[in-house]
Structure 1
């Protein structure tokens, strides 16, 4: 009987030792890889979301070292091991929550909360309330549910992360990845709740599965972000070509703008209203016929009598830009800083003398009417 117990103990120790080294090596590699993506791309975008996600994965790597260290310790040291697991779990959750404000697409129901300047305080206070009792239990050496507080904090984190991941992938039209992310979050939630049962072997298996899945989701998220940057970058004026097309369908006339110059696709088509189509075509005709001639916007105050103005107000330009962006990227799938302002700079040039004059920036050779 003693021999059987000894074999079981040795088998358990070997399992924890293998799991610890696996967790340390895999998560350390993932940390370096995520940080490398940020160094080459995210740093230039001043985006630190990937840094926080990388740090969250690094916490798992440190947790793996703890597993290795305690693998050969007697069972009475288990509460101490559980305590260190909880500490690294808390830091992992904190770093994930700190990454959320950097996500480009956030659910409307959560955006007002996550974008608050007090977000770090909102998530920091529960973190401290969970961390301090856990550290106290480690120092005092008392047994108990040292995992319990980090489980609650992890569940909160996973709810936020799941909603944000679903929104991010769906906005990028990666529905399969959105579904997989929810499945991954579900498995992780199950593993967190399973911690309370105290089944060490099964918990180790759950941990290996959900940590691997989450790391892959983080990489998929990073790659989808890189893909979006490459495909949705607004080309410079000299690389953008436009053509005005009209198609008749039964009793309706479709007015399409063909655009070439975006990476990832040879051409894109945007359907415009008659007013928007004619406005942009007036810019194109002026560019083709008169070169650098300007179109004039009607002033709001004291417009000249008996004078023809090309554009009623600047809102016409804004509505045109919004229609183009909705057609190119989908309604709600673009942002002001990354899409609207660059497209405005590519298409239009304002008079430096503040004369309420505007003209098309695209070269005449790139325009087909």
Structure 2
């Protein structure tokens, strides 16, 4: 038996082994992600995990083709094998890009594009421009065409967007180690695409197995971090909260207005602007003094002889957002999981009148520095 025949048998064996691995592992991962979505995402009508699962299913189909081509002999075997790899790679990239608008945390730079109504057009046109020439190449049996490289360009586009979004998703959930692992995984995948583009002799099958396994694990880590966020009560019950307000004199005679909100996961101590600090102090002093309720000025009220505690509802919203950014960091919060729960926990509206609001924290859990207590009458 010649060396060429032995080499061909070994190559077919590797292809067969890799095909079975890719088909079985990716199909199992597809079912796993779909199961997580079925139990949780389906109820919230969140289809992000469905698209990610479909992207992995595309790899499973690609593995099936690897098995088929390892068992058949055809003069155009290499052409059809590379063509089907490119096609399923394109579908994998497309499904990942379609999943991005469903991510809870998106980079501010990319968010307007990803959430725009033109996103499907933005990702769909390059997909078609890459798919159609690839199909044409396979049908014409043109082995010299460069069209096979188009899936690499589309994959690079996908990896750039995916890398930014994965980093943001893990970082905003305070999972920095996973964020850095996602960077390593994306870079490894980019290197593999680069070797494929230049036609390097390096073992592409090995590289493919490494980055596909890594991405699958990251998708599961992302899904579990989402499950953890849903199950974890980010804003605790008001009974577990305590509030402390302090003014600290700086060099030059100015003050830092410091708030300490204990009982909540995050940065418990943070500064506020003087105006928002005074509003929170007004709530706190009203609560401790027994007055409790503060009144919000009605809309279109032009009277000048009546003084209201709060000029409009937006003051409370600005205070709520400032507390969120102090605790979780700027942009590290969402409306559904953070803003609305915190507002409903910290502030209570009177049953008989919607314009009357008070701080829900117990007076026993509110602590004010001595200088603030002295100046009560100036603020409240």
TM-score, structure 1 normalization: 0.85
> Mapping of 1:1-369 within 5 angstroms?
2-74=1-73, 76=75, 77-143=77-143, 144-145=145-146, 147-196=148-197, 202-231=203-232, 233-237=234-238, 239-246=239-246, 255-260=258-263, 262=264, 268-273=268-273, 275-287=275-287, 290=290, 294-299=293-298, 301-351=300-350, 356-362=355-361, 364=362, 367-369=365-367
Number of residue equivalences: 362
Query: C-alpha separation between the residues in 1 aligned to 2:67 and 2:102?
Result: 34
TM superposition shift of 1:34:
1.7
Q: 1:108 and 1:220 mapped to 2: Cα distance?
A: 23
Where structure 2 has 5 or more consecutive residues not aligned to the other structure, the ranges are: 368-380
Deviations 1:26-59 (A, max 9, x none): 1112112222222333334432212111110111
SS in 2 for 1:311: coil
Partner Cα separation in structure 2 for residue 44 and residue 182 of structure 1: 31
Q: Residue deviations 1:217-237, cap 9 Å, x none?
A: 222222333344445633354
Q: Which moved more, 1:66-75 or 1:242-251?
A: 242-251
- Residue 342 of structure 1: CA displacement? 2.3
Displacement of 1:340 after TM fit? 1.5
Measure, in 1, the Cα distance between the counterparts of 2:105 and 2:335.
Answer: 13
Moved more, 321-330 or 4-13: 4-13
Q: Give the Cα separation in 1 of the matches to 2:320 and 2:197.
A: 54
Mapped contact 1:145–1:196 kept (Cα < 8 A): no
Q: CA deviation at 1:18?
A: 0.7
Deviations 1:182-210 (A, max 9, x none): 22222212222323455687111111111
| Contact in 1 for aligned 2:256/2:271 (Cα 8 Å) | no
* Larger displacement relative to structure 2 (23-32 or 163-172): 163-172
SS of residue paired to 2:178 = helix
**Where do 5+ consecutive residues of structure 1 fail to align?**
none
Q: How well do the aligned residues superpose, as a CA RMSD in angstroms?
A: 3.0
Give distance in 1, aligned partners of 2:133 and 2:364: 67
Does structure 2 retain, via aligned residues, the 8 Å contact 1:284–1:367?
A: no
Q: 3-state SS of the aligned residue for 1:147?
A: helix
Maintained 8 Å contact 2:287/2:363: no
- Relative to the length of structure 2, the TM-score reads 0.83
Contact 2:298–2:312 (CA under 8 A) maintained in structure 1: yes
User: Is the CA contact 1:241–1:366 (under 8 Å) kept in the aligned structure 2?
Assistant: no
Question: Are the aligned partners of 2:245 and 2:281 in contact in 1 as well (CA < 8 Å)?
Answer: no
- List per-residue Cα deviations over 1:79-125 (Å, max 9, x = no partner): 11111111111100000110111122222322221111121122111
Structure 1 residue 150, shift from structure 2 partner: 1.3
Contact preservation (8 Å) 1:82, 1:146: no
